[in-house]
Structure 1
Amino acid sequence: MRAPRFYTASHLAPGLTVVLDDNAAQHIGRVLRMQPGQEVRLFNGDGHDYAATLSDVGKKQVSAEVRSATANPSESPLRITLGQTLSRGDRMDYAIQKSVEMGVAAIVPLTSERCEVRLKGDREDKRIRHWQAVAVSAAEQCGRAVVPEIHPVMTLSQWFAFSQHCDTRLVLHHRTARPLTDLHTPTDLALLIGPEGGLSAEEIAQAEAAGFLATALGPRVLRTETAPVAALALCQWLWGDLGQRGS
């Protein structure tokens, strides 16, 4: 049986004993009911996986002794920053979870004209923490070496400025004829996904004025939580690591 894998913010190195984060400790002790001496894999975002042995499993604290480090080659050479407009219910959770699985590097929640979700103050902070936990869980499950950062909520104008460093910036727009295959090979890509009601014509024009290229995935209109998964899969296949390494 493969050793379960957990994220920790702690420094990791062979020979160190680390106290695991509360979420990992609860999962190890209460859900998996693991015992001292059993093996786990740890990662902290530095590009390595660490084999470790549980040294203490208590009700309030779990610790593990790190035995060895192995480079984890799971990160795509294509860096994708996703601008995902906020959506209702668990749609945002789904978009974040699946985007992490598809290799996204960072996620920026966005507001737009037709966005029906408004977050401010403590409510926004709580949702960002929740989405970051979703990203951690997804990275643990899919074997990634890095947990994508969930940035604070931005307006579209803030997002346009934030993403200027990317060499290619795309806005998904089903009413354009330009397919992804017409684009040059990027290394740093920004991807803009609209809300459930879609981006307005004015917002698409603003995105294009800011340097975004309107592109289509096909003739059908995708839901706001489906679009990032489809787009990321295609981008990783065309320019990332899916076409090279398979599933």
Structure 2
Amino acid sequence: MQRYFIDAGSFGDHQVTIGGNDAHHIVRVMRMRPGDKVIVTDGETREAVAELMTLSEGEVTGEIVELREMSGEPRWRVVIAQGLPKGDKMETVIQKGTEIGAAAFIPFQSERVVVQYDGKKEGKRLERWQRIAKEAAEQAHRSKIPDIHPVLSWSALLEQRERYDLAVLCYEKESAAPSRGLRETIREADLIGEARSVLLIVGPEGGFTEREAAEAEACGIRIAGLGKRILRTETAAMVGLTCLMYESGEMGGR
């Protein structure tokens, strides 16, 4: 069944209302009819199967026929901090990261970021990124839509460390040292089997400078490699996230 996120105010005791682009999608793209069923969630506490009753391009109503358990979220809350990449790579990170299970995304500036950041365009860019996260969350049957944070400076990102049980910076110069790989770093942190929060920090195309790596380590951020191969920035984010999901037991790990 198709899945849609709706506002809490549109989620009644017996009926739900779906509006905006989602209503258009139901009527014009999916060509649904009264009697068809969809999954709706408010992204917080409620999820249900609804049988459609009335349909128009502006608004669709449905009757709740089954309440469901919200079970689409991983045990670990993993946030990806991504150095701003070129082109549409950030969109790829958000889309695929949402599918795999990322809880949020923090774009940031660092020394080797080559993208010319324009604060005037940030609102539209964040809106687009949030829309991509919503669509990916619906496709992947997530229970919540990941948050997209405003772009942070490098120093502001380092200040985020204290909010997480573990923060890891993926640094390619550590790739030749197996004892400092991501798997070992996770297990040394003794997170297995617990509901934890993890910040995964991935650099832009040029990676991190030695100074940045040293600053991160001084803040209590652990340095880890992702193997012997040099990965593209968007690939590194997905590999690191997948490793964390596996180690948390999300994909049959410990």
What is the TM-score of this pair, normalised by structure 2? 0.89
- Count of aligned residue pairs for this structure pair: 242
User: 1:208 is paired with a residue of what secondary structure?
Assistant: helix
Runs of 4+ in structure 1 deviating by more than 4 angstroms, as ranges, are: none
Retained in 1: the 8 A contact 2:126–2:150? yes
Label 1:48 to 1:170 Cα distance change in 2 as closer, same or farther (>3 A). same
Report the Cα distance in structure 2 between the residues aligned to 1:101 and 1:158, rounded to whole angstroms.
27
CA distance in 1, matches of 2:14, 2:217: 52
Q: What is the 5 A alignment of 1:57-76? A: 57-76=55-74
Please, which runs of 5 or more residues in structure 1 have no aligned partner? none
Counterpart for residue 169 of structure 2: 171
The aligned counterpart of 2:250 is 241
Q: State the 1:9 CA deviation.
A: 2.2
**What secondary structure sits across from 1:104 in the alignment?**
coil
Q: Partners in 2 of 1:36 and 1:122 — Cα distance?
A: 44
Gaps (5+ residues) in structure 2? none
Q: Deviations over 1:85-106 (max 9, x none)?
A: 1112221111111111111111
Q: Report the aligned-residue RMSD.
A: 1.7
User: Compared with structure 1, are the counterparts of its residues 244 and 121 closer, same or farther at alpha carbon in structure 2 (3 Å cutoff)?
Assistant: same
Structure 2 counterpart of 1:4, one-letter code:
Q
Q: Could you tell me which of 198, 211, 215 is aligned with 1:206?
A: 215
**Could you tell me whether the CA contact under 8 Å between 1:14 and 1:69 is conserved in 2?**
no
- Deviations 1:45-64, CA, capped at 9 Å, x for gaps: 12543101222221322222
Task: Give the 3-state SS of the residue equivalent to 1:71 in structure 2.
Answer: coil
What SS does structure 1 have at the residue aligned with 2:199? strand
Q: For 1:175 and 1:220, locate their aligned partners in 2 and report how far apart those are by CA, in whole Å.
A: 11
| 1:161 and 2:159 correspond | yes
More off after superposition, 173-182 vs 190-199: 173-182
Q: Aligned residue for 1:185?
A: 190
* TM-score, normalisation: structure 1: 0.91
Tell me, yes or no, if the aligned pair for 1:13 and 1:68 is still in contact at 8 Å: no
Give the secondary structure class of the aligned counterpart of 1:226: helix
